[in-house]
Amino acid sequence: MTTAFEQAVQPDVAHFDVLIVGAGLSGIAAAAHLQMKCPRKSFVILERRASIGGTWDLFKYPGIRSDSDMATLGYSFRPWRGEKSITDGPSIREYVRDTARERGIDTHIRFGQSATRASWSSQDARWTIDVTTEPDGRPMQYTCSFLFMCSGYYDYSEGYTPDWAGANTFGGTFVHPQHWPTDLALEGKKVVVIGSGATAVTLIPELAKTAAHVTMLQRSPTYVVSRPSIDAIANWLHKRLPANVAHFLARWKNVFLSIYFYGLARRRPDRVKKAIVGLAKKALGPDFDVDTHFTPKYNPWDQRLCLVPDNDLFDTLRSGKASVVTDTIERFTPSGIALQSGKSLDADIVVAATGLKVQLLGGLTLLVDGKQVDTGKALSYKGMMFSDVPNFALALGYTNASWTLKCELTAQYVCRLLNHMDAKGYAYCTPRRSGPEMLEEPALPLTSGYVQRANAILPKQGTRVPWRVVQNYVVDMAMIRFSKVADESMQFTKKADVRVPQPA
């Protein structure tokens, strides 16, 4: 039966070997690896916004920066040559855009096109993608043999804001960092930033430069670690070695350091906790109540650690231009916020740095042979594919290391998979649960609020490889680059077994 959408689209449907959704860090990486490893494959990138950059083009709040070093957040195939390793958002955005331009990837991007529905047909061995153009809402369709989702994992239209009592009575300005107003005046204003995560600790030093005072209001503390913004070893290597060699060494140095510290935190949480809190006490001085404001009740890496460059948050707090309040919001008032302790905070501006809203697949509805896929019941294969979903991959980065590391491994594996299918005459591949029954667990091992709120839609992981999501780049690299593509959990279907229509 023909849907109203199908009746409305143009009769000629564009077909590509690979369709990528998203033109951010992972989407450009996916396209670059296709160019390098699968040069005969046609591909297109659909980007619902008007520009390249993804997260780094969307967020415009003051001080936005990476919380990962650019040796690992940057691409393996294009060395980062900025002076700072922990750098600002606009520089990262330009790095992604320059990469796309240099490789001609920008000519493959269709801007203002939002993928809303993807339907797989096993009979035809292809996906049909329903697209709505923005802002006119015109429907379009594409077909592809392989669907590669690089759309991140949160809702670009809105962030998460709790339902606070009395919020509508507040007489000042209320802002969410995801939609920062360009004309917001801070001079002489009392600002309260609600939250203590990565966005909050980034905002506060920057806002404090012009605001009368900034208060970080947190319900509970977060682990905050300072790191130099300049990687002296990486810069030394780049002065003395060819760019690719220096980049390789700097990248692996940081990979091994992150693996070591993460592993140490999981093996000896009390020791690492004591060290992190001790560094905070040293940075903030003997008169600061670190036990109340910077000593979490949970262990390191039960939630993500917050990185600050060059002690900027600690220095701002020591200067008196900012302060921390650890308390719970009772209600908003016309002049600020009333706290459960009985205290109150006056505010001209309230910034809700309360996190993101998880949205898997960019809101895309996924169907296989007419049946909608329940992502919350799917099992994650190698951290990138869904059980029982053919010719499909999802780029998701690490929770304990740079996003790009895992996304590049995912792109490399997709290329291996495509080349293997071409060599063997397969039309499609489908991860299938095999072997004895195994327990299922959440795929993201974090207790963070944004993860817990999204448990119903996030895929699960199993207790054994390849269904186990491994938060370790070295282990993943060995599995994804060198393990057999044709393992017992991957089912391949021959081209002779399906009717593959010719491209329109």
Contact 224, 308 (CB under 8 A): yes
Residue matched to tokens 């910034």: 351
Q: What is the pLDDT of residue 500?
A: 52
pLDDT tens, position by position, 105-131 = 999 999 999 999 999 999 999 999 999
Contact 430, 491 (CB under 8 A): yes
Residues 6 or more apart whose Cβ sits within 8 Å of residue 396: 153, 383, 384, 406, 407, 410
| Region 210-227 average pLDDT | 96
Percent of residues in the chain assigned helix, strand, coil, to nearest 5: 35, 25, 40
Q: What is the pLDDT of residue 139?
A: 93
Contact 22, 361 (CB under 8 A): no
pLDDT tens, position by position, 352-376 = 999 888 888 988 999 999 999 999 9
C-alpha–C-alpha distance, residues 65 and 95, integer Å = 13
Q: Is 363 left (phi over 0), alpha (psi -120 to 50) or beta?
A: left
Residue matched to tokens 């996304």: 407
Does residue 417 have a pLDDT over 80? Answer: yes
pLDDT band at residue 184 using 50, 70 and 90 as cut-offs: very high
pLDDT tens, position by position, 441-480 = 877 766 667 667 777 788 888 888 899 888 889 999 998 8
Calculate Rg over the CA atoms of the chain.
24
Contact 105, 30 (CB under 8 A): no
Q: What is the pLDDT of residue 445?
A: 67
Q: Which domains does the chain show, CATH number per domain?
A: 4-157+357-426 (3.50.50.60), 167-352 (3.50.50.60)
C-alpha–C-alpha distance, residues 216 and 324, integer Å = 5
pLDDT tens, position by position, 30-50 = 999 999 999 999 999 999 999
Let me know the angle formed at the C-alpha of 466 by 462 and 468, rounded to the nearest 5 degrees.
35
Does residue 147 have a pLDDT over 50? Answer: yes
C-alpha–C-alpha distance, residues 101 and 107, integer Å = 8
Q: State the DSSP H helix or E strand holding residue 385, giving kind and residue range, or none if neither.
A: strand 385-386
Residues linked to residue 391 through DSSP beta bridges, in sequence order: none
Tell me the whole-structure pTM to 2 decimals.
0.91
C-alpha–C-alpha distance, residues 256 and 401, integer Å = 10
Percent of the chain with pLDDT over 90: 77
Average pLDDT, the chain: 91
Q: Report the 10 Å Cβ neighbour count for 203.
A: 25
Q: What is the pLDDT of residue 143?
A: 97
Does residue 504 have a pLDDT over 70? Answer: no
pLDDT band at residue 499 using 50, 70 and 90 as cut-offs: low
Encoded tokens for 404? 């790009």
Q: Report the 10 Å Cβ neighbour count for 13.
A: 15
pLDDT band at residue 436 using 50, 70 and 90 as cut-offs: confident
Q: What is the pLDDT of residue 447?
A: 63
| Region 180-187 average pLDDT | 93
Does residue 136 have a pLDDT over 50? Answer: yes
Q: Is 285 left (phi over 0), alpha (psi -120 to 50) or beta?
A: left
Does residue 11 have a pLDDT over 60? Answer: no
Does residue 4 have a pLDDT over 60? Answer: no
Q: What is the pLDDT of residue 458?
A: 83
Residue matched to tokens 């951010």: 24
pLDDT band at residue 409 using 50, 70 and 90 as cut-offs: very high
pLDDT tens, position by position, 255-301 = 999 999 999 999 999 999 999 999 999 999 999 999 999 999 999 98
Contact 126, 82 (CB under 8 A): no
